[in-house]
Structure formats: structure tokens, C-alpha cells
């Protein structure tokens, strides 16, 4: 019981505390790849701390939904942090749901963020909301079909079950269904977390924004919460990629030594994935908005191929 | 994609070290208490929103160079943001024309406290060569309260960087 | 009849029906036979678990709808409303074909009268007419099928049909199933028989729409369940495949049309089509699993379908009542004229938000639970060893996921444009909150949505019991404890209570932390508009603009009709006086299916005019010939 609580707390601390570092490392890598010295990897912590010391300007056009949304975003990502197998294969809320719950938890956050974008009554917010829900809706089928491919091979859709079943399989990565599902999920990750080539997180041109446009109206502590939730969402998506597809180093239960090795393992896997993401982001240009459905349809085709190879290879 | 990566990696890091040259310190006019307050409030993070209040864009070209690889603003914790709601510092260029005065004022009101305003260039200081024109209000200080001025026409990126760093006092 | 009397009578009827229905679900059996009342066969009412479930559904939806009706001043049609509720309560209880058809017809006529309303607009007249024709076309199919079944089994009683499915040859069974599916599908609003739904539901008053969407279309599903699972016995797998494909198509078509519509109630009507599609996907999966011998999965999918039907009744009724309050306050159904209502009508907004979150299938409310269950049932499709069926299931899964995402977008648009930001018209700016009766009705339904979401551990075993009773399988093992619902052993688990508690705790955490850290407060300001001087409601995003990405992405489906009319000045064509631009989705079912069919019908009728010579002698000849033919055949 104590071990469970400690494990849950450790997982929360790793996700909540490590997410800004992940974003900082990503920005630093992207800067280095284009010849700049770049910000320090722990710069996002300074940014968040500064934001918490600023006042929040709230538009008179908005309603309680605008002020409620940042807290809800943080809440959904924190709850998701206890469902995703980050440090242990069966985290504290692992019994409460599986990948479907995770996807819809993130959708809950997106729903309210889209409403908050419309709430301010500015054209930017409405545009951001409209595009964000369009991209999120088109990414859903790919997620479910990619996870279907995993569930078919693991015999269970429970995330902990998938991790444990795959951890014992030596020829895991050699399976084409596995690699196809990974590719499909990677593209979906880029779409859902708003990275290039779907959305540029560093753009200043409102007409090119998807996620940022909804956030333009936030300031002070609300902005800090939204940025933090966004960083945690990226962290969780990368963790899903790492631990579902390469589940080595994920112990079954909490214990001090197990948690330490798990933290090291996830740090190493996330470092590799972040480097890959930085490489992709610095090499491709942002896609035109109406080319994004083609990209997502391509990822859906990959996921469908993955399911078909499961059938062909059983 | 690979060709671009190869070129980037071959070029390496091209950022120049930012030295506080004597001329930069001399060019800057900044109140002592403001510098203290800024350091206390912002720590090592300053988000900048650039406002063009009628400039000829000479200053914008120089500011644009700041975010590039040679001067690299981000390594000091300074970042350019899109919305004044996200900003701590308004970097205002140009003599404030009559048409942009109200927009500048609204931008200033949209920025959450604590904030600083840095006026760039001779135009920002006192309307520069456009002083007295029928179309300008005056320097930035005539519309919104200004905390720092970086004179020049246009100020070089080096001077801009030194000015911003002095405003941040994050050395 | 005064509004209060109608409300009280309706609510009482609903409560009685709900109580009886719950008793039926829990296993109480009851029947009533009055053989002399209606020839042939007499009046027969039977209560069994499946009938009890739908009776409870009708009853519980009728209560808030009646309460809402009580708050409407000057609405006529109280008698029709009560007849409607009574007929809907009688349909699941019917024990033989005549009782069923009588109740069905009474339900259709009563709702026709209610849709017709005050006969004050062309729209309500044409909506009522289309509804009348389609429901009677469906009735014709049902009549044909039931009479055929009656003649093949020599009895018109449903109990006899359930007991002897083996008496039917496969071809006969298929014919009966197809006719019954067409008849019930028309009532349920399945593609392509849905065209009456987006016309009739918006035209009716909102409490009637709530009942029609919440309860009446479910009776179509009830009929389909009886046909596919009970009367005709375990059918071949292709019946289930057809139902699943029809369900997936309905879900996608419904939500795609809901996304681009400007009429708030029509958005809700199309969303009903979408949810009926989701229920049908679950029902079809049940039929396929049963045909493949996987009884436990069949029970799970049927329970998921029934759960979604119940949830839909709750949140769709809530949304329609909310829409009714909004339409009454803003004076229009066009959502482009609304806005800012969250400040003028806070309770309605909160209720509508609850309904929107529920219908978008977001945790921890009820829509999420039934979607989750449907996914769990579909994801275990690998147990079926036939690849072509697996492909259908994969399509169903992908379609369901896409529908879920599009539904989120649809209701962000519906809630956001109607309630948030600044009012887009003067009447919306002067809107007043709904009265106490509508608010009470909406509050009841919102509470039901939350309760159904947090208590799947109570509801699911009951529904699984109903499903087992229908399918004739032994009951499922109790799915675990009070906290978690587990499915098929260790396949998957869900605990909405834990999620809700965790969300609540996680919401309080940053609040407490920020309060303790004494973070700086808020300052009111203006919306950031890039320093623009003028800030009006015209600067906001419109519903059409919000739906624009979808209109472009799904261009191949909407096939928009674009028209551009330019009026130039008389003196010179370089000076434009007026531009009119129209870009609306093409109604493809009306254009490609119904119009050709109706035109063919007209041509055939025109040819048949040759028979009408006008001479009485020729008509006498026809009558004698018909008599001779019938005597020979008998």
C-alpha cells in the first residue's frame, strides 16, 4: 500500500516535473541543429516560475469556461499520468481504463480548450479551435487501429498487459506489424501534440497557428498551467511510444530499486525519441493545413497495414 | 531533408559571444531601480513582443537578426512571443504615428503586469528624423511609459542585445 | 387541456411506465390478454426483460419532457402528447402483431399531429407530410412482414414466433428480416431512410423533439432487436454485417451533416442519426458474434448497445430541452444569430454543456461509458476466425473512432457558437433565462447523465441480464466490484468513479497550490485583437467558419452546391451592385435516391392512369376479375 502510493507519487513527480525539462531539451536540440547555441535545457522552469508571478489579464468577453479550462487541462493530464505506464507497468490508475480512456481524457482537455478559444470572441481563437478539433478528430481512427494491432498480438487491451506481454518477447522489434504501428502512432503524436509538420509551436503568424491560436488570450498563471499541461501531454505521448513499443526496463511493481531503474530507462528512451523528434522538426517544413488530412490518412493506412500484417503473420 | 541536415551540421554553431562593449553601456539609459526590479521580477526569463508603431522597418531588420543563429537571443532566456498577453517586455520601434498610437496603447494595456517597455532607435526615443511631422505623435514615451531606450538609427543587433541584456540584468 | 394537467398526467404516466419497465428488467413477468377486444387475435400485453427495458426508457424520458411541457404557455396538443406517450409505452408491451401495429400507428399519428403543430409555416407542413409518408411506408413494410410471419407460423402472437424460428426456410426468414428491418429502420432514422428526421424533429416543439429523438427512434431499434434476435431466431452472420455497415454509415453521415448545419435543432436531429448508428454497430456486432457462437461477446455487445440507447435518451432529451429554451429566448433556430448566452442563461448553459460533454463521449459521463463498452466488444473481434468479418469489424472500429472525434468537433461548435463570446443579434443580447419547469427538467436529465456515467457497475449487470434473456444464454458473471467494470476476464477494465475522483482531486491541486503561493490576481481587459479599434460581434468566428475545415476535408461527401449571382449596374458592368454567394452541402440522398425514385413512381402512376377509363362497367369488370382471382388462390 505504501509502496503503491510512493510509486504513484514518484510517477506524478517524474511526469509533472520532467515535462518542462523535456520541452527544454527539445528546444535546445532544435537550436543546436540549426547552428544556434540555444536556450538552456531548464529554461522552461524559469519561464513557468516567471509566469506564476505575473498577473492574469482576463477579457471581459469571456465566461467561467475560460478560467476553468487551464485547471481542467492540468487535471486531465495529471490523471492520464497515472494511467500511462511511465515507471511501472501497472500504475495507480491503470485499472481504471486503457488506451480508449487515455484518448478520450485528452479529448476532454481539447474540448474545453477549444471552447476557451471561442470564448474570447476573437477570430484567432475561433480559428485555432476549429483547426484543432479537425486535426484531433482525424487522428482518432489511427490511434484506435494502431492500438488494435497491439491488442491483437498481446491478447489484451489493458496497457499494463500489453507492456508485460511484449517485454517478454525477444523478437518484438523484428515484427513488421509492430514497426508499422509505431510509425502510425509517431505521426499521430506529432498531430496531437502540435509539432511540425502539423503545427509549428514557435510561430508568430496567427494564420499558421493551430494550438497556439487558442492560447493567445491566456496570461499569467493560466498560461503557466496551459503550457505545463501541453508539455505533460507531449511527455505522455512520447512515453506511450517508448513504453508500449519498446517496453524494456518497465518493472511490474514499485520498489525503490525498480523505480530508479525505471526512471533511468524512461529517461534514456525519451532522450532518443526527443532527438528523433528534433531531427524531424528541423528538417521538414510545416504542412499546409489542408494537406494535414492527407498526412493523417497516410498514418491511418499504416495502422491498417499493421493490423493486416497481424492477420497475415499469425 | 538529409541535404539540409548535412548542411546544418557542417556549418556548426555560429553564435557569436555577446560582449558588453563600452559603447553599448554608454548608449543605454536605464534607471537603476528599474534594473533591480526587473531582475527580481523576471529572473532569467523575458518574453518580448515587438510592436511596430510606424517604423521604416530598419529597426525590424536588425531585431530580426537577433533571433538568428549569429546573435541568438534565446540563449539568454529571451524569447519573442506572438501575443502581448504572453509578453513581459514590449519592444517598440518607430515614431508613434497618429494611426498607431491607439493600437500601441491597447497593446500596452493587454500586456499583464509586471512589464517593461523598451523603445528602440532614435525614432522610439523622440521620433528621430520624423520629429515634428504632422503624422507622428512623438517618441514612444509620449504614448506609453518607457523603461529603457536603445538609441541608434538603426541600432546594431549587438547594441540591441546589450540593451536588452542590461534591461534583464541577467549576467 | 391546460399545460399543467398535461404535464402532471404525462409525468405520472412516465413514472408508472418507468417503474413497470424496471420491474420487467429485474425479471418480473406479467401479461394481459383480452381476446375479444381487437380482432383478429385480441389485445395482448406482455412484459419481458427487453420490453421492460424499452418501457423504462420511454417512461424515464417522458417524465422530464412532461415537466418541460408544463412550463410552456399556450401550447396546444396536450391530448396528442398524452396519446403519444401512452402509445410509446404500449409498443414494448405488445404481445401480438395487432396490438403492436395499433400502438405503432397511434404513436405515428400522435407524433404527426404534434409535428404539424399550429400549421403556421410551410416548413412544418412539409416536415409533417414527409414524416407521414415515410412512417406509413415503414408501416406497410411492417404489416407485410408480420402478416407473412403470421401466415407461415399460423399465429400472430410474438411468443409463438419466438418459439418456432426453425419453421421458416432461410429465404422466408431473410424476406421477413429485410421487410422488418426496412420498417423499423425508417422509424429509427437509419441511412438512407433518415430524410424525415432532420425535417420533423426541428419542426416539433422541443419537448416533443426530446421524446421523438429520445424514445421514439429507440422503439425502432427495439423492433429491430425483436426481429433480428427474437422472432426470427439466430440469423446468419450477414444480417449482422448489414446492420453494422448501415450503423457505421448512419453514424458517419449523421455527424458529418450535423457539423455543417446552421439550425440548432437540425444539428441535434442529425446527431440522433449518428447515435442510432452507433447503437446499430453494437447490435450488428451482437448478431455476428451470436452467429459465430461467441455468446459472451454477443451479450456484451448487446448490453453496450442498450446502454448507449439509454444514454442517448438521457443526453439527447437534455440537449433538445436546452435547445428549446435557447430558441425561445433568442427567437430563432439559426445558431449564427446567437452567442453570449452563457451569461444571460447560466443554468441552461450548464445543462447544455453537460449534455454536450456527454454526447461527445468524454469521461467520466455516460456517453463515454457506452462508447468504451462498444469499443471493448468490437476490439475482441479476433475471436471470430473469418477474415471477411474481421475486416468489417475493423471498418466499424475505425468508423466509430472517427465519429467520436467528429462528434466532439460538432458539439464544440454547437455549444461554443450558441453560448460563448458576444451575442450576434439584438434578441440574443436580450435573452432571458428559461422558466423553473424547463430548468427542473434539464436538471433531472443532467443528473441522470452524471449518474449513468458514474454507476456502470450497477447498470451494466442489469443490461447484461436483459441481453442474456433475449439471446437465451446464461447470465454473465457479475463484472467485478462496485468500483470497476471489467470485460471478458482481463481484457479491459474501466472505473469512471476513480477517474472522476482523480479529476476532482487534480482540479483542486493547482488551485490550492496557487492560493497558497499567493499568486497575483486577475485584471479585466479587452480581448486581444491586434490593437484593432473596433471590437464587435462581427469579429467573432461564425458557425460556418468553424465548420469550414470539415467542409473542405470532406468535400467529396458534401459535394457543395456553389452559386454566385452578380448584379451589375445598368450603366456599366464594371460596377457591381449586389453579390450573392451560396455554398451549401448538397442533399445527396434527396437528390440521388429519393428524387429518381419518386420520379419513377410518378411515371409508373402516369402509365397506370390508362386503367382509369371512367366507365362504371369497366370498374365492375375489374371487381369481378379480382374476386375470381382471390377465389382461385384461396
Range with the poorest average pLDDT among A82-86, A215-219, C166-170: C166-170
Rounded to the nearest angstrom, the gap between the alpha carbon of residue C586 and the centroid of all alpha carbons in its chain is 23
Cβ-defined contact of C525 to A105 (cutoff 8 Å) = no
Give the residue ranges of DSSP H helices in B43-156: 58-66, 98-110, 121-126
For residue B161, the model assigns a pLDDT of 82
Give the closest of C520, C525, C533 to B110, CB-based. Answer: C525
Report how many Cβ contacts below 8 Å link chain A to chain C. Answer: 256
Question: Which residue has cell 466499424?
Answer: C396
CB C380 within 8 A of CB C297: yes
Contacts of A157 in chain C (CB under 8 A): 376, 379, 491-492
Q: H/E element holding C42?
A: none
For residue C591, the model assigns a pLDDT of 87
Closest chain A residue to C407 measured between Cα atoms?
A137
Closest chain B residue to A56 measured between Cα atoms?
B112
Q: Per-residue pLDDT averaged across C407-428, rounded?
A: 94
Cβ-defined contact of C490 to A131 (cutoff 8 Å) = no
Q: Per-residue pLDDT averaged across A28-49, rounded?
A: 90
Q: Neighbouring chains of C at 3+ CB pairs within 8 Å?
A: A, B
For residue C452, the model assigns a pLDDT of 93
Q: Per-residue pLDDT averaged across C592-598, rounded?
A: 91
Instruction: Please tell me what DSSP assigns to residue C144.
Output: H
Q: Strands B89-93 and B116-120, how do they pair?
A: parallel
Report how many Cβ contacts below 8 Å link chain B to chain C. Answer: 23
The answer, for C415 touching chain A at a CB cutoff of 8 Å, is yes
Cβ-defined contact of C398 to A108 (cutoff 8 Å) = no
d(CA B127, CA B139): 5
CB C342 within 8 A of CB C349: yes
pLDDT of A114 > 70? The answer is yes
C-alpha cell at B122: 532614435
Closest CA to C283 of C197, C194, C223: C223
pLDDT of B36 > 60? The answer is no
The answer, for B74 touching chain A at a CB cutoff of 8 Å, is yes
Give the closest of A35, A56, A212 to B8, CB-based. Answer: A35
Percent of chain A with pLDDT over 70: 100
pLDDT of B28 > 70? The answer is no
Closest chain B residue to A281 measured between Cα atoms?
B1
Cβ-defined contact of B82 to A33 (cutoff 8 Å) = no
The answer, for C395 touching chain A at a CB cutoff of 8 Å, is no
pLDDT, mean over chain C = 89
Closest chain A residue to B14 measured between Cα atoms?
A35
Where is pLDDT greater, at C121 or A211? Answer: A211
pLDDT of C412 > 80? The answer is yes
For residue A156, the model assigns a pLDDT of 82
Q: What backbone phi and psi angles, to 5 degrees, belong to C157?
A: -90, 140
Angle (CA) A292-C257-C343 rounded to 5° is 90
CB A184 within 8 A of CB A138: no
d(CA A26, CA B89): 25
* Position B43 confidence tier, pLDDT thresholds 50, 70, 90: low
pLDDT of B22 > 70? The answer is no
pLDDT, mean over chain A = 90
* Position B27 confidence tier, pLDDT thresholds 50, 70, 90: very low
Residues near C89 by beta carbon (within 8 Å), at least 6 away in sequence: C13, C17, C55, C58, C59, C62
Give the closest of A130, A138, A161 to C490, CB-based. Answer: A161
SS3 B118: strand
Q: Per-residue pLDDT averaged across B40-69, rounded?
A: 86
Positive/negative CA dihedral, B61, B63, B65, B67: negative
The answer, for A264 touching chain C at a CB cutoff of 8 Å, is no
Contacts of B103 in chain C (CB under 8 A): 530-533
Q: Per-residue pLDDT averaged across B132-146, rounded?
A: 91
pLDDT of C587 > 60? The answer is yes
For chain C, give every domain's residue range.
Answer: 1-163+170-232, 234-476+544-558, 559-611
The answer, for A12 touching chain C at a CB cutoff of 8 Å, is no
Question: How many CB atoms neighbour CB C619 within 10 A?
Answer: 13
Residues near C534 by beta carbon (within 8 Å), at least 6 away in sequence: none
pLDDT of A151 > 50? The answer is yes
Cβ-defined contact of B107 to C526 (cutoff 8 Å) = no
pLDDT of C119 > 80? The answer is no
Q: What does the pLDDT look like over C535-561, one tens digit per residue? A: 888 888 999 999 999 999 999 999 998
For residue B114, the model assigns a pLDDT of 87
The answer, for B113 touching chain A at a CB cutoff of 8 Å, is yes
pLDDT, mean over chain B = 82
C-alpha cell at C208: 416533443
C-alpha cell at C628: 375470381
Quote the minimal CA–CA distance from B5 to chain A in Å. 6
Cβ-defined contact of B102 to C533 (cutoff 8 Å) = yes
Range with the poorest average pLDDT among A166-170, A181-185, C61-65, C326-330: A166-170
DSSP state string for C80-132: HHHHHHHHHHHHHHB-BHHHHHHHHHHHHHHHHHHHHTT--SHHHHHHHHHHH
For residue B40, the model assigns a pLDDT of 60
Q: Per-residue pLDDT averaged across B73-94, rounded?
A: 90
pLDDT of C80 > 70? The answer is yes
| A 214-233 residues with CB < 8 A to C | 216-217, 220-221, 225
Cβ-defined contact of A136 to C493 (cutoff 8 Å) = no
d(CA A235, CA C535): 38
Question: How many CB atoms neighbour CB C165 within 10 A?
Answer: 15
Report how many Cβ contacts below 8 Å link chain A to chain B. Answer: 101
Cβ-defined contact of C549 to A289 (cutoff 8 Å) = yes
Best of B82, B161, B168 to disrupt the A interface by mutation (most A CBs within 10 Å)? B82
Contacts of A209 in chain C (CB under 8 A): none
pLDDT of C633 > 90? The answer is no
Cβ-defined contact of A115 to C416 (cutoff 8 Å) = yes
Give the closest of A61, A107, A108 to C421, CB-based. Answer: A61
Best of A29, A32, A37, A40 to disrupt the B interface by mutation (most B CBs within 10 Å)? A37
For residue C37, the model assigns a pLDDT of 76
* Position B29 confidence tier, pLDDT thresholds 50, 70, 90: very low
For chain B, give every domain's residue range.
Answer: 22-168
Contacts of B110 in chain C (CB under 8 A): 525-526, 528
The answer, for C382 touching chain A at a CB cutoff of 8 Å, is yes
CA A167 vs CA A88, A152, A249, A264, C377: distances in Å: 12, 16, 8, 17, 26
Cβ-defined contact of A40 to B80 (cutoff 8 Å) = no
Cβ-defined contact of B110 to C526 (cutoff 8 Å) = yes
Cβ-defined contact of C422 to A130 (cutoff 8 Å) = no
d(CA C569, CA C504): 64
Cβ-defined contact of B75 to A39 (cutoff 8 Å) = yes
Instruction: Please tell me what DSSP assigns to residue B153.
Output: S
| A 122-151 residues with CB < 8 A to C | 122-123, 125-127, 129-131, 133-134, 136-141, 143-145, 148, 151
Q: Per-residue pLDDT averaged across C200-204, rounded?
A: 90
Question: Which residue has cell 508568430?
Answer: A204
Question: What ipTM does this complex have?
Answer: 0.94
Best of B17, B48, B83, B107 to disrupt the A interface by mutation (most A CBs within 10 Å)? B83
For residue B164, the model assigns a pLDDT of 83
Closest chain B residue to C525 measured between Cα atoms?
B110
User: Which pairs from C590-594 meet CB under 8 Å and 24+ separation?
Assistant: C590/C195, C593/C192, C594/C195
Cβ-defined contact of B109 to C526 (cutoff 8 Å) = yes
Quote the minimal CA–CA distance from A34 to chain C in Å. 31
Cβ-defined contact of B102 to C531 (cutoff 8 Å) = yes
- Chain B residues with CB under 8 Å of a chain C CB are 83-85, 100, 102-104, 106-107, 109-110, 112-113
Closest CA to C62 of C306, C269, C359, C317: C317
Please list, residue by residue across C415-451, b when 16 or more beta carbons sit within 10 angstroms of its beta carbon and e when fewer do: bbbbbbbbbbbeebeebebbeebbbbbbbbbbebbbe
pLDDT of B35 > 50? The answer is no
Fold that domain B22-168 belongs to in CATH: Rossmann fold (3.40.50)
Amino acid at each position: 500500500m505504501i509502496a503503491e502510493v510512493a510509486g504513484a507519487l514518484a510517477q506524478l513527480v517524474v511526469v509533472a516535473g520532467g515535462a518542462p525539462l523535456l520541452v527544454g531539451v527539445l528546444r535546445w536540440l532544435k537550436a543546436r541543429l540549426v547552428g544556434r547555441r540555444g536556450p538552456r535545457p531548464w529554461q522552461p522552469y524559469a519561464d513557468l516560475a516567471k509566469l506564476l508571478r505575473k498577473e492574469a489579464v482576463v477579457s471581459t468577453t469571456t465566461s467561467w469556461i475560460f478560467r476553468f479550462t487551464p485547471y481542467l487541462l492540468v487535471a486531465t493530464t495529471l490523471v492520464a499520468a497515472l494511467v500511462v505506464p511511465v515507471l511501472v507497468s501497472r500504475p495507480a490508475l491503470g485499472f481504471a481504463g486503457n488506451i480508449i480512456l487515455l484518448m478520450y481524457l485528452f479529448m476532454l482537455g481539447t474540448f474545453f480548450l477549444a471552447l476557451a478559444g471561442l470564448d474570447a470572441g476573437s477570430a484567432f481563437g475561433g480559428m485555432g479551435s476549429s483547426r484543432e478539433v479537425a486535426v484531433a478528430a482525424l487522428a482518432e481512427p489511427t490511434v484506435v487501429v494502431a492500438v488494435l494491432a497491439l491488442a491483437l498480438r498481446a491478447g489484451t487491451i489493458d496497457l499494463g498487459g500489453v507492456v508485460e506481454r511484449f517485454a517478454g518477447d525477444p523478437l518484438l522489434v523484428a515484427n513488421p506489424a509492430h514497426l508499422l504501428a509505431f510509425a502510425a502512432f509517431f505521426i499521430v503524436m506529432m498531430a496531437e501534440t502540435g509539432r511540425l509538420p502539423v503545427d509549428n509551436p514557435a510561430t508568430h503568424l496567427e494564420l499558421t497557428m493551430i494550438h497556439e491560436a487558442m492560447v493567445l488570450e491566456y496570461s499569467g498563471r493560466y498560461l503557466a498551467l496551459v503550457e505545463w499541461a501541453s508539455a505533460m501531454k507531449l511527455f505522455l505521448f512520447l512515453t506511450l511510444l517508448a513504453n508500449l513499443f519498446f517496453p524494456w526496463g518497465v518493472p511490474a511493481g514499485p520498489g525503490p530499486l525498480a523505480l530508479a531503474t525505471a526512471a533511468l530507462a524512461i529517461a534514456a528512451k525519451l532522450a532518443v525519441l526527443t532527438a528523433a523528434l528534433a531531427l524531424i522538426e528541423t528538417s521538414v517544413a510545416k504542412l499546409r493545413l489542408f494537406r494535414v488530412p492527407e498526412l493523417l490518412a497516410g498514418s491511418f493506412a499504416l495502422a491498417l497495414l499493421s493490423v493486416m500484417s497481424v492477420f497475415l503473420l499469425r | 531533408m538529409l541535404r539540409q541536415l548535412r548542411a546544418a551540421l557542417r556549418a556548426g554553431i555560429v553564435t557569436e559571444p555577446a560582449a558588453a562593449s563600452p559603447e553599448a553601456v554608454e548608449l543605454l539609459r536605464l534607471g537603476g531601480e528599474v534594473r533591480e526590479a526587473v531582475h527580481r521580477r523576471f529572473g532569467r526569463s523575458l518574453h518580448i513582443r515587438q510592436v511596430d508603431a510606424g517604423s521604416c522597418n530598419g529597426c525590424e531588420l536588425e531585431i530580426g537578426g537577433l533571433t538568428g543563429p549569429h546573435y541568438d537571443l534565446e540563449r539568454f532566456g529571451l524569447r519573442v512571443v506572438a501575443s502581448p498577453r504572453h509578453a513581459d517586455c514590449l519592444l517598440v520601434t518607430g515614431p508613434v504615428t497618429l494611426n498607431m498610437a491607439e493600437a500601441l496603447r491597447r497593446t500596452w494595456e493587454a500586456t499583464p503586469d509586471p512589464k517593461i517597455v523598451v523603445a528602440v532607435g532614435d525614432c522610439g526615443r523622440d521620433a528621430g528624423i520624423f520629429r515634428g511631422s504632422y503624422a507622428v505623435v512623438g517618441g514612444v514615451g509620449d504614448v506609453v511609459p518607457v523603461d529603457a531606450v536603445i538609441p541608434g538609427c538603426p541600432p546594431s543587433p549587438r547594441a540591441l542585445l546589450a540593451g536588452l541584456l542590461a534591461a534583464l540584468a541577467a549576467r | 387541456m391546460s399545460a399543467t394537467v398535461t404535464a402532471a398526467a404525462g409525468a405520472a404516466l412516465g413514472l408508472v411506465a418507468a417503474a413497470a419497465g424496471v420491474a420487467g428488467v429485474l425479471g418480473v413477468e406479467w401479461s394481459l390478454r383480452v381476446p375479444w377486444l381487437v380482432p383478429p387475435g385480441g389485445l395482448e400485453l406482455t412484459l419481458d426483460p427487453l420490453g421492460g427495458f424499452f418501457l423504462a426508457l420511454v417512461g424515464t424520458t417522458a417524465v422530464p419532457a412532461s415537466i418541460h411541457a408544463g412550463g410552456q404557455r399556450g401550447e396546444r396538443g396536450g391530448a396528442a402528447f398524452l396519446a403519444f406517450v401512452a402509445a410509446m409505452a404500449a409498443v414494448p408491451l405488445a404481445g401480438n402483431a395487432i396490438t403492436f401495429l395499433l400502438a405503432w400507428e397511434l404513436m405515428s399519428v400522435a407524433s404527426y399531429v404534434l409535428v404539424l403543430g399550429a400549421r403556421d409555416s410551410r416548413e412544418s407542413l412539409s416536415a409533417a407530410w414527409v414524416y407521414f409518408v415515410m412512417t406509413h411506408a415503414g408501416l406497410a413494410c411492417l404489416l407485410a412482414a408480420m402478416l407473412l410471419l403470421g401466415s407461415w407460423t399460423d399465429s400472430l402472437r410474438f411468443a409463438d414466433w419466438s418459439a418456432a424460428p426453425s419453421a421458416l426456410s432461410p429465404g422466408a426468414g431473410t424476406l421477413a428480416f429485410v421487410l422488418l428491418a426496412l420498417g423499423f429502420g425508417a422509424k429509427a432514422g437509419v441511412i438512407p431512410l433518415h430524410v424525415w428526421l432532420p425535417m420533423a424533429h426541428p419542426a416539433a416543439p422541443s419537448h416533443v423533439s426530446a421524446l421523438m429523438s429520445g424514445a421514439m427512434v429507440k422503439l425502432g431499434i427495439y423492433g429491430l432487436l425483436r426481429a433480428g434476435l427474437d422472432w426470427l431466431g439466430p440469423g446468419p452472420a450477414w444480417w449482422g454485417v448489414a446492420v453494422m455497415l448501415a450503423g457505421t454509415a448512419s453514424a458517419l453521415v449523421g455527424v458529418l451533416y450535423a457539423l455543417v448545419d446552421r439550425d440548432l435543432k437540425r444539428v441535434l436531429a442529425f446527431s440522433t442519426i449518428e447515435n442510432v448508428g452507433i447503437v446499430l454497430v453494437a447490435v450488428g456486432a451482437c448478431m455476428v458474434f451470436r452467429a459465430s457462437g461467441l455468446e459472451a461477446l454477443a451479450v456484451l455487445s448487446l448490453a453496450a448497445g442498450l446502454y448507449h440507447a439509454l444514454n442517448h435518451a438521457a443526453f439527447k432529451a437534455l440537449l433538445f430541452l436546452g435547445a428549446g429554451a435557447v430558441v425561445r429566448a433568442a427567437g430563432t433556430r439559426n445558431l449564427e444569430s446567437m452567442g453570449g448566452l452563457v451569461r444571460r442563461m447560466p443554468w441552461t448553459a450548464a445543462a447544455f454543456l453537460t449534455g454536450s460533454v456527454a454526447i461527445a463521449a468524454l469521461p467520466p459521463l455516460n456517453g463515454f461509458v457506452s462508447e468504451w463498452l462498444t469499443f471493448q466488444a468490437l476490439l475482441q473481434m479476433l475471436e471470430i476466425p473469418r477474415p471477411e468479418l474481421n475486416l468489417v469489424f475493423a471498418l466499424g472500429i475505425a468508423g466509430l473512432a472517427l465519429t467520436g472525434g467528429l462528434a466532439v468537433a460538432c458539439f464544440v461548435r454547437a455549444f461554443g457558437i450558441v453560448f460563448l463570446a458576444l451575442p450576434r443579434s439584438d434578441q440574443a443580447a436580450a435573452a432571458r433565462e428559461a422558466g423553473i419547469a424547463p430548468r427542473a427538467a434539464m436538471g433531472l436529465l443532467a443528473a441522470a447523465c452524471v449518474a449513468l456515467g458514474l454507476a456502470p457497475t450497477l447498470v451494466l449487470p442489469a443490461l447484461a441480464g436483459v441481453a442474456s434473456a433475449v439471446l437465451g444464454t446464461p447470465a454473465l458473471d457479475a463484472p467485478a466490484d462496485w468500483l470497476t467494470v471489467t470485460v471478458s476476464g482481463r481484457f479491459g477494465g474501466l472505473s469512471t468513479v476513480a477517474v472522476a475522483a482523480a479529476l476532482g482531486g487534480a482540479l483542486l491541486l493547482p488551485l490550492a497550490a496557487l492560493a497558497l503561493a499567493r499568486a497575483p490576481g486577475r485584471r479585466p481587459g479587452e480581448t486581444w485583437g491586434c490593437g484593432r479599434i473596433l471590437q464587435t460581434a462581427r469579429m467573432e468566428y461564425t458557425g460556418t467558419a468553424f465548420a469550414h475545415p470539415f467542409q473542405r476535408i470532406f468535400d467529396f461527401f458534401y459535394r457543395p452546391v456553389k452559386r454566385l449571382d452578380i448584379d451589375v449596374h445598368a450603366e456599366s458592368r464594371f460596377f457591381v451592385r449586389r453579390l450573392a454567394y451560396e455554398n451549401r452541402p448538397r442533399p445527396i440522398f434527396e437528390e440521388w435516391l429519393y428524387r429518381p425514385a419518386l420520379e419513377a413512381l410518378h411515371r409508373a402512376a402516369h402509365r397506370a392512369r390508362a386503367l382509369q377509363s371512367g366507365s362504371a362497367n369497366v370498374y365492375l369488370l375489374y371487381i369481378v376479375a379480382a374476386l375470381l382471382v382471390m377465389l382461385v388462390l384461396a
